Amino acid sequence: MPFLEKAVRELTPAVIGIQGEIHPHELEEVTADVMEYVKSGTRIFQIAYRVMIFLAIFLPLFSRGKIFFWMREEARDKYLNDLFRSRFVLMRAIGTVIGVPIKMVYYNREEESKQLGFDRRAWKEEARLRAVTRDKSTQGCPRIYQ
Amino acid sequence: MIFSVGHKFDVEQIEEVEADVAVIGSGAGGAVTAKELAEIGYKVAIIEEGHYFKTEEDFNLDPVDSFAKLYRDAGQKITLGSPNVMLPIGCSVGGSSTIFSGTCLRAPSRVLKRWQWQLGLTEIDESEMELLYKAVEEYLFVQRADPEVAGENARLFLNTAVEKMGLSGGWLPRSAKDCEGFGGCVLGCPSGAKQSMNVSYIPGALEAGAQLYTRCRAERIMVENGRAAGVDARFLHMAETGESPRRLRVNSRVVILAGGAIYTPLLLLNQGICNSSGMVGKNLHIHPSLAVVSEMDRYIGNPRGIPQSSYVDEFEADGVMLEGGTVAPSVHAMALPYNGRKHREHMKRYPYSGVFGGMVSEAESEGSVSLTPRIKWRPLVKYNLKGIDLERAKLAVTIMARIWFAAGARKVITPIKGYKEITNPQDLRDLEQARLVPEDFTYLSAFHPMGTCRMGASPIFSVVKHTCETWDLKNMYIVDGSIIPTALGVNPMLTIAALAMRSAGFIDERLSGAEE
C-alpha cells in the first residue's frame, strides 16, 4: 500500500475520533474517497498535503519517541489535539491541513450527514419540486459551444 | 477553420469567430455587459473557462462534488502570508455568483465618497449608481430575506442582537425568487431560486443572441495599433484540467475582461499589457471572514434555512460587519479547531450548534496577485493581515461571542489560538484585552477579492478609467471586482453588476461612434 494511503488509513479514525468504532470496509471507502478528494486539488495542494501527512506521521518520533503508526489510541488522540495547541504555526497547520479532506469526506457521507439533520437527497428532491425556472430558456440553446 | 501544427505536436484546430464584443468571464461583470450589449444588437461572444452546470442535474447539495465542480482548485485556494486565508473562487458559468450567498448590498455612501476624494472618481456619483442599482435589483428580484424560511440560527442570532441587546441589524436583501431555504447557496442553488448569473443574466444574454463558449480559457488579448482586437483562447478537455488542441480566436472590436480580481490581473501580467502604472495585481483587498460557533441547549437545525439571511451592522463604522453563514456538516467539520474525540463530540452536537460569520468589511491590509514562476496559469496570491485589521477581526469575534452568550450559548468556539473555547465572561474579557498577532488566527476565509486593476482618475495610479476602459489599451475594458479600488464594506456582487451596466453604456457609445 502506498505511504500516503496507509497514512490516511491510520489517521482517519484518530482525526474523526472513531478509533475502534469504524468497520474496516467503511474505512477502506473513506480512505479511497479522501485520496480522490486530494487528487481533485491542484498539484501544489497535493504536494503540500503529502508533506503535511509525512510530518504528522514522523514528527512524534522526536517529541514522543515513536512514529504515529506505533502510537496507542489515547496517545494518537492527544498528539493530534496537541498539534492545534502548539505555539508553532507549522504544527498548527499540520493539525488543520491533514484533517481537512478527512473530515470533509467523512461527514459528507450520506449516512453521517443525514444523521446530523442534513438529508441532502430529500432536500434536493424537494428543491426539484419547487424549482424556480428562469433558467429554462437555455435548455437546448443553439448558441452554447463547448 | 484553420489547421496548424502547434502545441506539443498536436494538430491545432483554430476556430475563428467574428464579433463586436468578446467577453472573458461570465460572472457578475461579464454576464451583465454581455446581456446589455447583446440586447442593443451587438454580436457578443462570451468565453468562460468553467462548465455550464444546470440547476436540476448538477446542483445536488453535495459539498465535495460541488466544490470540485464549481470552485477553482476544488475550493482549496489559499493566500500566502500570515495568516493563510482560504480564498474560495467560483469557476463555472456565472463565476463566483453561482456560489455566492445571494446577498445584494449597495456600496455605502462613504465608500463612494472616498472614491471621489481619494481617487478622483467624481464621475461615479451616488444618484447615477442608485439608478443602476435599482435596475440590477429589479432584474435579480432583490428583496429582503423571508424570516419564515431564514432558519432558526438566523432568527435566534438576529432577535438576540436587535431585540435583547439593542444592536442595529436586519434581514439582508438577496437576489432570490421564491427561496425555500435549502441551505446550499455556496453549493449552487438546488432550486434555481438564487438569481446568480447562470440563471439570470446569462440566459438573458443568450436569448438576445450572445454566443457562449464554455470550457474555454482566454490566453491572450489580441492587440492591433494600440487597440484590443480580439481574444485568443484554448478549449480545455471536458473532464480534466488539461488543454485540448482546439483553439478559439474571437476577432472583435471591443474586449471585455471580467475574469475576477485574481485571474484578470494574471492574464494581463502573463501578457505584459495594461500595466504602465505598475498597479496590475497590486492593491488586493479582501474581506477577511471569521465564524464563531456556539453550543446551545436548543435545537437549531442547521443548515436548513437561508445560509446568509441576516446581518448586524452596529459596528459597520468600525469596519466590522456580521452576516450569518451556516454550512453543511462536512464544511462545518472542516473548520472546527479540534481533532479526535473532541471533534466527534462537537460534531454529534451539530444540530444544536449555532454559527455566525463576521467580516472585516473595510480592511486596510493589502495583498497582491503575481505570476507563479514556471507555472503559467497559477496566480500567487499574497496577503498579510496587519495593524488595525487584527483588532477588527478580534472585535468581530467578541461581538459574535457576546450575542451567542446572550442567546443562551453554553460555550462558543472561536478561531483564535488560546481562546478556542470560551465558556465564561472572564475568558471573553481576556480575549477583548488580548494583543493578537496574525498567527493567532487559526482559520480565516476571505471572500470578495477586489482592487487588483483599480479604477482611478489618473493612469499613474490606476489601471482603468471611470468608464472601465484601460488607460493603456483602447477598446479594452475591465468589468469585475478587480476595478473596485478600495475594500467595499459590503458584498460586492451588486456593485460589480451596476458598474458593468454603466460600462456597457460607454461601450455602446464607442461601438456606435456616438462618443467621437
Q: What is the DSSP string of B119-146?
A: H--TTS-HHHHHHHHHHHHHHTTEEEPP
R_g over Cα of chain A: 20
Q: Which residues 6+ apart lie within 8 Å of B278 measured at CB?
A: none
Report the candidate in B308, B309, B304, B301 with the shortest Cα–Cα distance to residue B325. Answer: B308
Range of the domain at B393: 144-175+289-361+386-440
Percent of chain B with pLDDT over 70: 97
Do B405 and B333 have their domain in common? yes
What integer pLDDT is reported at residue B6 of this predicted model? Answer: 40
Is A21 an 8 Å CB contact of chain B? Answer: no
Closest CA of chain B from A6, distance in Å: 18
* Element housing B89 (H / E): none
Do B428 and B465 have their domain in common? no
**Three-state secondary structure of B350-383:** HHHEEEEEEEECCCCCCEEEEEECCEEEEEEEEE
DSSP state for residue B186 in the 8-state scheme:
G
**Cell numbers at B446, concatenated:** 476571505
Band the pLDDT of B74: cuts 50, 70, 90.
Answer: confident
Of A96, A128, A130, the CB nearest to B442: A96
- Evaluate whether residue B181 is within a structural domain: no
Q: State the complex-level ipTM.
A: 0.91
Choose one of B440, B469, B485: the last residue of a domain.
B440
Tell me the CA distances in angstroms from A30 to A12, A57, A125, one per residue in order: 8, 19, 26
CB contact (8 A) between residue A132 and residue B341: no
Closest CA of chain B from A70, distance in Å: 17
**Cell numbers at A30, concatenated:** 473513506
Of B182, B342, B417, the CB nearest to A81: B342
Do B464 and B498 have their domain in common? yes
Of B180, B303, B343, the CB nearest to A17: B343
CB contact (8 A) between residue B203 and residue A131: no
Of B64, B338, B378, the CB nearest to A84: B338
Band the pLDDT of B2: cuts 50, 70, 90.
Answer: very low
Q: Which residues 6+ apart lie within 8 Å of A119 measured at CB?
A: A113
DSSP state for residue B40 in the 8-state scheme:
H
As a whole number of angstroms, the distance between CA B316 and CA B292 comes to 18
Interface test with A, best of B67, B339, B421 (most A CBs within 10 A): B339
Of A44, A80, A146, the CB nearest to B339: A80
**Cell numbers at B122, concatenated:** 467624481
As a whole number of angstroms, the distance between CA B469 and CA B201 comes to 22
Do B482 and B403 have their domain in common? no
- Evaluate whether residue B373 is within a structural domain: no
Inter-residue contact B38 to B79 (CB < 8 Å):
no
- Residue B334: list chain A partners with CB under 8 A: 99-100, 103-104
As a whole number of angstroms, the distance between CA B306 and CA B182 comes to 7
CB contact (8 A) between residue B190 and residue A103: no
As a whole number of angstroms, the distance between CA B415 and CA B384 comes to 17
Of B74, B199, B338, the CB nearest to A41: B74
Structural domains in chain B (count): 2
- Evaluate whether residue B366 is within a structural domain: no
- Evaluate whether residue B381 is within a structural domain: no
Q: Tell me how crowded residue B509 is: count the other CB atoms within 10 A of its CB.
A: 13
Q: Which CATH number is B19's domain given?
A: 3.50.50.60
Do B435 and B456 have their domain in common? no
Closest CA of chain B from A139, distance in Å: 9
Provide DSSP, B313-327: -TTGGGTEEEEE---
pLDDT digits (tens, 9 = 90+) for A34-51: 999 998 888 888 999 999
**Cell numbers at B125, concatenated:** 456619483
Band the pLDDT of A69: cuts 50, 70, 90.
Answer: very high
**What residue in A sits closest to B331 (Cα-Cα)?**
A104
What integer pLDDT is reported at residue B443 of this predicted model? Answer: 82
Helix (H, G, I), strand (E, B) or coil at B289: strand
**Three-state secondary structure of B50-72:** CCCCCHHHHCCCCHHHHHHHHEH
Start-to-end Cα distance in chain A: 39
Inter-residue contact B111 to B142 (CB < 8 Å):
no
Task: Give me the residues paired with residue B224 across strands.
Answer: B227
Among residues 87-126 of chain A, which lie with CB inside 8 Å of chain B? 89, 92-93, 95-96, 99-100, 103-108, 112-113, 116-118, 120, 123-124, 126
What integer pLDDT is reported at residue A105 of this predicted model? Answer: 96
Do B59 and B112 have their domain in common? yes
Choose one of B394, B424, B440: the last residue of a domain.
B440
What integer pLDDT is reported at residue B375 of this predicted model? Answer: 81
Region B316-339: mean pLDDT is: 92
Do B432 and B410 have their domain in common? yes
Do B472 and B353 have their domain in common? no
CB contact (8 A) between residue B199 and residue A134: yes
- Evaluate whether residue B182 is within a structural domain: no
- Evaluate whether residue B256 is within a structural domain: yes
- Evaluate whether residue B372 is within a structural domain: no
One-letter amino acid for residue A25 of the chain: H
Tell me the CA distances in angstroms from B303 to A104, B7, B291, one per residue in order: 15, 47, 14
Do B22 and B95 have their domain in common? yes
Inter-residue contact B326 to B302 (CB < 8 Å):
yes
- Name the pairing type of β-strands A144-145 and B211-213: parallel
Do B299 and B278 have their domain in common? no
Which spans in chain A are helix H? Answer: 3-16, 24-39, 43-58, 60-63, 73-85, 89-97, 99-108, 110-115, 120-129
Q: Tell me how crowded residue B366 is: count the other CB atoms within 10 A of its CB.
A: 17
Interface test with B, best of A105, A138, A139, A141 (most B CBs within 10 A): A138
pLDDT digits (tens, 9 = 90+) for B264-323: 999 999 999 999 999 999 999 999 999 999 999 999 999 999 999 999 999 999 999 999
Helix (H, G, I), strand (E, B) or coil at B164: helix
- Evaluate whether residue B376 is within a structural domain: no
Band the pLDDT of B73: cuts 50, 70, 90.
Answer: confident
Among residues 53-72 of chain A, which lie with CB inside 8 Å of chain B? none
Choose one of B440, B460, B486: the last residue of a domain.
B440
Q: Which CATH number is B397's domain given?
A: 3.30.410
**Total CB pairs under 8 A between chain A and B:** 188
Region B51-75: mean pLDDT is: 93
As a whole number of angstroms, the distance between CA A112 and CA B65 comes to 16
pLDDT digits (tens, 9 = 90+) for B450-486: 999 999 999 999 999 999 999 999 999 999 999 999 9
pLDDT digits (tens, 9 = 90+) for A3-29: 999 999 999 999 999 998 899 999 999
R_g over Cα of chain B: 23
pLDDT digits (tens, 9 = 90+) for B75-109: 888 899 988 899 999 999 999 999 999 999 999 99
pLDDT digits (tens, 9 = 90+) for B397-449: 999 999 999 999 999 999 999 999 999 989 999 999 999 999 999 888 988 99
Of B73, B334, B344, the CB nearest to A41: B73
- Mean pLDDT, chain A, rounded, equals 90
Do B305 and B421 have their domain in common? yes
CB contact (8 A) between residue B84 and residue A124: no
**Cell numbers at B516, concatenated:** 467621437
Provide DSSP, B441-487: B--EEEEEEE-TT-B-S-TTT-SB-TTSBBSSSBTEEE-SGGG--S-
Do B195 and B165 have their domain in common? no
